[in-house]
Amino acid sequence: MTSQSRIHSEVANYYSAKLESHGPTPQGVDWNGPDSHQLRHRQFLRLLERTPGCSVTDLGCGFGDFLRFLRNSGHRGHFTGYDIAASMIEKAREIHGEGEDRRWQVGAEPDQVADFAIASGIFNVRGDVASEIWTDYVFRTLDVLARAGRRGFGFNILSLSSDPDHRRPTLFYADPATMLSHCISRYGRSVALLQDYGLYEFTVLVRHPEAID
């Protein structure tokens, strides 16, 4: 089994167990509670602002709560959710259904290109994977997101600028400056780093140069 396959298998098992224990709640996707869950969702609205009809891919969609948030925020574009945990996709279909404006699929890489691609929380749970291997996995997955969003993409990640006593050894923490530099050098200068919303993480929003008016 390759390191990437091993990571996908272990992450899928981890989140399937969380869903089984907590159901379709923030804890079921390993977040602390509804307030922080909504706060994370809100950071991505800056990427989607003024484009209520844009198509969105959510990589690591869990049980599909970002779709609910988007619809409540006035977004009406097509939404596709992908997750490597089959139980998450089953729950998303059960809660939200499928139709002309939404689709759910088990998988680690989107099979279609949307206007924007989003990934929330998928880089956090490292387990016992070595940090350098996980970092490579993160960078490879960012390339997947960059290809999946023709106009841009966004992701969040736990921050090394958080207090050391709040960190857990099985989680992955990134240096914001390093991540910003990587994204600018690889995807262009239109990159925003958000770390002012009160959580021990940051969100990165990338717009592809050819999509900027």
Band of the pLDDT at 211, cuts 50, 70, 90? Answer: low
Give the pLDDT of residue 26. Answer: 67
Q: What is the DSSP string of 94-128?
A: HHH--BTTEEEEE-SS-SS-EEEEEE-STTSB-TT
Domain housing 193: 3-211
Q: Tens of pLDDT along 146-201?
A: 999 999 999 999 999 877 887 888 899 999 999 999 999 999 999 999 999 999 99
Place of tokens 């097509």: 78
**Given pLDDT bands bounded at 50, 70 and 90, which one contains residue 49?**
confident
- What pLDDT band is residue 33 in, cutting at 50, 70 and 90? low
pLDDT of residue 35: 85
Q: Is pLDDT of 42 > 80?
A: yes
34-43 helix and 65-72 helix, angle to the nearest 10 degrees: 70
Give the Cα separation of 188 and 31 in Å (integer): 31
Q: Which residue is listed with tokens 């800056």?
A: 46
State the SS3 of 193-205.
EECCCCCCEEEEE
Residue 4 pLDDT exceeds 60: yes
**Can you tell me the mean pLDDT for 12-30?**
72
pLDDT of residue 21: 80
Q: Identify the pLDDT of residue 112.
A: 94
The domain that holds 94 is classified in CATH as 3.40.50.150
| Residues of the chain above pLDDT 70, percent | 91
Q: What are phi and psi of 202, to 5 degrees?
A: -145, 160
Output 57 or 211, whichever has higher pLDDT: 57
Cα–Cα nearest to 141, from 102, 105, 90, 179: 179
Q: pLDDT for 118-136, tens place per residue?
A: 999 999 999 889 999 999 9
Helices 131-148 and 176-187: crossing angle, nearest 10°? 40
Question: How many residues would you count in the chain?
Answer: 213
Q: What domain count does the chain have?
A: 1
Q: If pLDDT is split at 50, 70 and 90, which confidence band does 53 have?
A: very high
Token pair 């977004």 is at which residue?
A: 75
Residue 3's CB is within 10 A of a number of other CB atoms, namely: 13
Q: What is the DSSP string of 58-81?
A: EET-TTSHHHHHHHHTT--S-EEE
Structure tokens at 59: 């990589």
- pLDDT tens for residues 62-91? 999 999 999 999 999 999 999 999 999 999
pLDDT higher than threshold 70 for residue 29: no
Looking at residue 1, its pLDDT comes to 46
pLDDT tens digits, 83-97: 999 999 999 999 999
CB-based contacts of 72, cutoff 8 Å, min separation 6: none
